[in-house]
């Protein structure tokens, strides 16, 4: 499923959250510029993009297939449901097993009748202060699909919160935690909390690299350095979670390649060895997503 090389562990090739957010910037649908940026990524050794736009997030398979075919980057598709208030009506209408079977069908048979199969369950998410009943239903349905298919689960945490509570649901529903990635933990800024997550057996994603309006890169670097010093780089994956038109270079944003052009050199300049970089950008993804 994955090609040897660099993997961006949490991205969106296209996504549309503009309706709920009432912000056209949240409709990422610029095909020409996305293809241009992905060709640059390919030239820098990026082989895989884990694409986490699922049901209710404006998933556009035809768009993503065009990008994949024009750039020769391997795009890993996902199934599942995001979080409130972005959940489609079916989440409210169907029960856990029915939702789980929808996810399972997209993995086994293909997305929306296309025959193109999802390989990841995610990103499934929770709010900042609590897990709502509908979000918990999605987590249980994702657990159902995971147990039947063995596919990895990638979560969304709001500002890095409630990861431990997410893990509790997974443990209660038989999920293999080695195949779980808790996302956006870098936004917590809390190393002790991240260590507690890893101690439970999951993987964590520092996947909002470049979003310094939320967290300065120095905090991300210091936390990653300590994790590497503790021998835990084998539980970390990296990405940028680009979701807006304004994130693209053509619109004045950092662009997808910032992770490789700026952030990785910054880590190296601050003493993080290449072996740890390889774990976080290549080897861990092969274990989790393959």
**Any residues with CB less than 8 A from the CB of 19 and at least 6 apart, and which?**
none
Work out the pLDDT band at 146, boundaries 50, 70, 90.
Answer: very high
| pLDDT, position 169 | 98
> Would you say residue 1 lies in a domain?
no
Tokens of 242: 């680009």
CATH number at residue 73: 3.20.20.140
pLDDT digits (tens, 9 = 90+) for 271-285: 999 999 999 999 999
Work out the pLDDT band at 237, boundaries 50, 70, 90.
Answer: very high
Task: Quote the mean pLDDT of the chain.
Answer: 98
> Would you say residue 232 lies in a domain?
yes
Query: Rounded CA gap, 46 and 265, in Å?
Result: 16
| pLDDT, position 118 | 98
> Would you say residue 87 lies in a domain?
yes
Task: In the chain, count H helices and then E strands.
Answer: 13, 11
pLDDT digits (tens, 9 = 90+) for 35-79: 999 999 999 999 999 999 999 999 999 999 999 999 999 999 999
> What element of type H or E holds 16?
strand 15-16
Residue 19: how many other CB atoms lie within 10 Å: 12
CA atoms within 13 A on the CB side of 239: 27
Span 112-137, average pLDDT:
97
CA atoms within 13 A on the CB side of 185: 30
CA distances from 252 to 38, 249, 290 (A): 17, 5, 35
> Would you say residue 185 lies in a domain?
yes
Express as a percent the part of the chain with pLDDT over 70.
100
Span 75-89, average pLDDT:
98
What phi and psi, each to the nearest 5 degrees, are found at residue 155?
-105, 165
Cis peptide before 85 (omega within 30 of 0): yes
Comparing C-alpha atoms, which of 68, 66, 54, 37 is closest to residue 99?
54
Residue 92: how many other CB atoms lie within 10 Å: 11
> Would you say residue 28 lies in a domain?
yes
Q: The pTM is what? A: 0.97
| pLDDT, position 92 | 98
> Would you say residue 41 lies in a domain?
yes
Residue 115 pLDDT exceeds 90: yes
Comparing C-alpha atoms, which of 35, 12, 39 is closest to residue 244?
12
pLDDT digits (tens, 9 = 90+) for 148-189: 999 999 999 999 999 999 999 999 999 999 999 999 999 999
Residue 1 pLDDT exceeds 90: no
pLDDT digits (tens, 9 = 90+) for 238-258: 999 999 999 999 999 999 999
- Domain total in the chain: 1
Structural domain boundaries, residue 137: 6-289
């Amino acid at each position: 499923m994955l090609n040897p090389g660099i993997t961006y562990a949490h991205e969106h090739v296209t996504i549309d959250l503009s309706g709920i957010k009432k912000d056209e910037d949240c409709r990422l649908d610029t095909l020409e510029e996305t293809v241009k940026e992905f060709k640059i990524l390919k030239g820098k050794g990026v082989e895989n993009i884990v694409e986490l736009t699922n049901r209710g997030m404006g998933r556009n398979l035809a768009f993503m297939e065009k990008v994949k075919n024009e750039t020769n980057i391997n795009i890993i598709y996902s199934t599942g449901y995001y979080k409130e208030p972005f959940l489609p009506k079916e989440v409210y209408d169907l029960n856990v097993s029915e939702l789980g079977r929808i996810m399972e069908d997209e993995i086994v048979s293909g997305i929306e009748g296309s025959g193109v199969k999802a390989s990841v369950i995610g990103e499934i998410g929770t709010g900042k202060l609590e897990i709502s009943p509908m979000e918990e239903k999605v987590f249980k349905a994702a657990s159902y699909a995971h147990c039947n298919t063995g596919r990895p689960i990638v979560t969304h945490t709001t500002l890095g919160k409630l990861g431990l509570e997410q893990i509790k649901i997974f443990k209660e529903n038989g999920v293999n935690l080695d195949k779980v990635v808790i996302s956006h933990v870098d936004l917590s800024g809390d190393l002790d909390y991240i260590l507690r997550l890893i101690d439970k057996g999951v993987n964590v994603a520092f996947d909002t690299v470049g979003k310094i309006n939320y967290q300065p890169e120095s905090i991300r670097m210091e936390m990653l350095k300590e994790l590497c010093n503790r021998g835990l780089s084998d539980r970390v994956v990296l990405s940028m979670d680009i979701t807006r038109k304004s994130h693209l270079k053509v619109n004045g944003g950092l662009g997808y390649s910032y992770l490789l052009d700026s952030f990785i050199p910054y880590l190296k300049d601050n003493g993080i060895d290449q072996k740890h970089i390889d774990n976080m950008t290549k080897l861990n993804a092969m274990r989790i997503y393959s």
